Structure 1
Amino acid sequence: MYKVIVADDEPFMLEGWKTMIDWQGCGYELCGTATDGEEALDLINHVNPDLVVTDIQMPVLDGLGLIRTMREELKYDSQIVIVTGYSEFGYAQQAIRYRVNEYVLKPLVPEEIHELLRNLIIPLDTQRQEIEIKLAEEQYDAMEMLDTTMDEGGMLDEADLEKMASRARQFIALIEAGDVTGVARTVDDMLQEMQESRAVMIWAQSAVRYIHGELLRRYSMIGADQTVLQVRTWHHTESWFMGDLKKLFIRITETFASMAQADPGSSGLVAEAVQYLKEHYRTKIKLQQLANHIHVNAAYLGQQFKREMGVSFSEYVHRLRIEEARRMLRRTNMKISDIAFELGYHDAEYFTEKFKALTGELPSLYKNNNQG
């Protein structure tokens, strides 16, 4: 589900957004409403929405002022839709300047809004994948740095580097165990070491980057809100010594502890579903078919699967297929169209589209770069 907030100073319009629009059916969650731009900014900072829907004419801070603040000051890349009763071209020009995705007029027509929301799924999916790829690259860079040894002229010797790598893994283990006390103590120990050694300061930053990447993956697996992973504290070392890093890690640890206590019985169900998909992903398989196989309600299975795996049932199938496609492109001379058909895609163009979305490369380019 993509998170949405709506800002409009007209009560009946807000009520319409709440009751007339099938957010969930279109793939969204309405996380809150605001009656002016400043209230909307507070809500944005709290929710970190994927989509902001705003009126233009509002008190305190109007819609264009809200959008300008989002883009220029806060650097938010959320998708934006302007809904207004004013059709002057000047508003549209300013909206384009601030990278507004859609510009629609009141009154609300549910069918039109539903179509608009469905159309926005593609750029939202693309944006989310780009963020995941960027964070994965940061995680990879951090892992390489943690695994690199430095000579005497560098910042750390091999023993100190191994200590920091061990500390990063220790953090992950304590967080997943929900050990708040252990995490707090470990943060204090690391900060003390950082104050005593500039070398440790530098490599501790790499260790935290590694932890950040690992937590992103684990948050996706448990279906938790990832807002905490997007705060600036991760990259502001100065704030670490003011207690911000400890607060951040404690908050994350508490999240894992609460998730471990919630609905503990679904893990076996999802594990069975995953095993089935790994054996049948080459065939055309639907969620209802899988649910029937393991004797469970399809809607419930879909919810639990997304919560534990971090992706929807269909997206997980695509990932299995594309991973196998990568193997086939590296090790066989099969045509791309034949690989697509072999993996259950009856449209080679659609296969190419999914492959690029998940790997960042066209199948042909991946094959050229990885064969030989």
Structure 2
Amino acid sequence: MTFKVLLIDDEPGALEGMQLWVDWRSIGFEVCGTGSNGVEGLQLIKELEPDLVVTDVNMPLMNGLEMIAAWQAEQSSDVRFVIISGYSEFEYAQKALRFGVSHYLLKPIISGEAEEELAEIHEELVQEKEKQGMTQIALYEEIVSQLKELLQVELPGQRRVEPQRENTVLDRLSQVRDKWNFCLVQTEEASFADLRGKAAALLYEEEAMYLIDLDMNRFGIVYGDFPGEGGERDSCRILEELARLYAGQRVFMAIGEGTDDLLQIGHSYQTAREAIMHKFYDTAYDRIYRYEQTAKQSLNYRYDQLAAVEGIIGAFTLLDQAAYREAVDSAARSFRELLVAPEIVKKVVIHMMCIIMEYFKETGETKAKLLFEKYELPGLSDSVFILSDLMDLLRSCGTEGIELLLQEQSRKSQGMVHKINDYILEHYRERLTLKKLGEMFYMHPAYLGQLLLRKNGISFNELIHNLRIEEAVRLLGQSQLKNSEIAELVGYSHYGQFFKQFEARMRMSPNEYKNTMF
């Protein structure tokens, strides 16, 4: 541990000798400056803030003892002093004891003796620093503990008990700054420890800034300002720096309404909690939200989710990706326009994703489990999401589900389509329709029609007509049946329809075809 030392003597040779003869660095000191009299020494102590001052006693303008007395009268900060005197000035050393100066060096300075004395002082400074550190830690913990008590949420119908103001630590601390406020930080569970650590490192040794641990992956920063004098800008700078450290992470930061009384910091905390809920409707994570932005806006806790759920799930069950995306976008617009409370939105989204997950089970348990883990349903209610990202999650979940279901249906339908085509080959002479086939094979007629088109390359109706005309051509060449009888045998109830379909495919009429055969 290195400490700063200031050297003061009116003899330039003595100053140079102290710098050259004493190995300051080896005993844990660094010379930060030199002065030639007590007046100059006082000014240098204020500017350089040394830990130790080594001063001659007998100097012009203001001697060393006068300088020590003047500094101690100001009580600006703790500084240790060592006086230098000769044997003939020993009475000065005795007088210095009254000022609490217990160390002195005799002229002429002998480097070995001086270093031994200064090494002892260094050890005292180390012990004092450690003691101060422990005291500061204890005081910090006491302040944090009392602040946490002020953040307790008031229960309905309960009157808050005001803390005692007399001689309390917080009452004294409140007077250190003109304004106090609360910055609330909410993180993901997985990143909470890392992000809290970054905040603690940034706030280390910052004055009037206290880190408060809360629940649900949240912590807060109580901070004091001097509005209008640069203090507010300093605290904002630190909070903005923290936001930059969190760049790329899903983190919410919100500042409450300031108060001039630290004992009312609970109000700042409550308003920060309101602000962080509105952060849900922001368009990015890296901005700090302020209560002033939302003071006149109220969140809606009454929302009829039926229409949104029906629209989204309806499009999903039809396996219509375009309609599904539009339904999700519509729900997002509705949430934003009505300012639906984030916890309500999350419940709606979780409900819809659970319904979708049930459909996933049709693709096999392994795939369903993987998707369940991918979309983090168990921790979604406590997660940090802005609305757009949450709806992106729902959109991705549904479109991926539709794709999987389509793949699964396609796989299953490969075997089914052969059965359907076999049935058509046996019954094309009957009044077959897609609706009738759909009922028989438990498929939606529209989906069945698309399936047959992909498999056969032609539509269902074209397939029926082709099969009928092929059979008619065979009968025309092998029997003496009338054309109307053949038309009825292959499945046409009206001869005109048979004639039209035959001519379209054979590029001639049934009679013309007969003439070519005989």
Band of TM-score, shorter chain: 0.3 to 0.5
What TM-score, normalized to structure 2? Answer: 0.33
Relative CO higher for 1 or 2, CA cutoff 8 Å, sep ≥ 6? 1
- Taking structure 1 as the reference length, the TM-score comes to 0.45
Higher helix share: 1
| Larger-gyration structure (1/2) | 2
